[in-house]
A and B are shown apart, each in its own frame.
Chain A
Amino acid sequence: SQTIHQWPATLVQPVGSPLSLECTVEGTSNPNLYWYRQAAGRGLQLLFYSVGIGQISSEVPQNLSASRPQDRQFILSSKKLLLSDSGFYLCAWSVGSRTSNQPQHFGDGTRLSIL
């Protein structure tokens, strides 16, 4: 069966510091991968998605970037964190498909607090 792992679970970082959040998927090949941010009490905002190695699409301009160095690895990064980057970050995967009927499966999230 497929599993998705995110780490760390929680992270406290000072303003201006770099960031690296990692997500890996097991048990499937060539998945679509997604990064979301969820602000407190809010819905989900899609940040990035990827349909293959090295292929990253950004949904919103921001202080963050994403990379996919391996088929089942998705990394969210920042060179200098801002206070507004605080939030709950979720990674998700779906079957690699160009149809719209694929559900997404989520990791347990990373709680990021910026001080």
Chain B
Amino acid sequence: AQSVTQPDIHITVSEGASLELRCNYSYGATPYLFWYVQSPGQGLQLLLKYFSGDTLVQGIKGFEAEFKRSQSSFNLRKPSVHWSDAAEYFCAVGALYSSASKIIFGSGTRLSIRP
């Protein structure tokens, strides 16, 4: 069965420092992968997506993610975080069911920014 694991529940980094959020997936075929961000009390916003092609994908707000098939990973990175990046981040994999596309979400990583 498809699944997504985000091993880090909570991460704190200093403002201006680099960031990497980990994501591992389990999927029997070529996965479609997504990263979403959720600010407190808000809905989820799509940061980036990977379907095929270049394994390094660029997203909004200066984020990027790299797909590594050999490691079943899709880690999210940002070279220099800003205080406004504090939020919950969800990795997700697209799943195909009999009648609709669905997305399976990881449990999320909460990012705090140290001034």
Contacts and interface: CB of A to CB of B under 8 A. Distances in A.
**Are A and B co-members of a single complex?**
yes
B67 interface: no
B103 A98 contact: no
A108 to B, nearest CB: 5
B101 A100 contact: yes
A54 B103 CA distance: 22
A107 B105 contact: no
A44 B90 contact: yes
Contacts of A34: 102
Interface string A32-52: 101000000011101001010
- The majority secondary structure among interface residues of chain B is strand
Count class of interface residues, chain B: 20 to 34
Interface in B62-115: 90, 94-96, 99-103, 105-108
B41 interface: yes
Contact of B101 (A6, A42, A90, A94): A94
B53 interface: no
Contacts of A80: none
A108 B43 CA distance: 4
- The majority secondary structure among interface residues of chain A is strand
A58 to B, nearest CB: 13
Contacts of A6: 43
Interface of A: 6, 32, 34, 42-44, 46, 49, 51, 55, 57, 88, 90, 92, 94, 97-109, 111
19 contacts: A32-B101, A34-B102, A43-B108, A44-B44, A90-B43, A98-B100, A98-B101, A100-B94, A100-B101, A101-B49, A101-B94, A102-B94, A103-B46, A103-B49, A103-B94, A103-B103, A107-B43, A108-B43, A111-B41
Interface of B: 32, 34, 36, 41-46, 49, 51, 90, 94-96, 99-103, 105-108
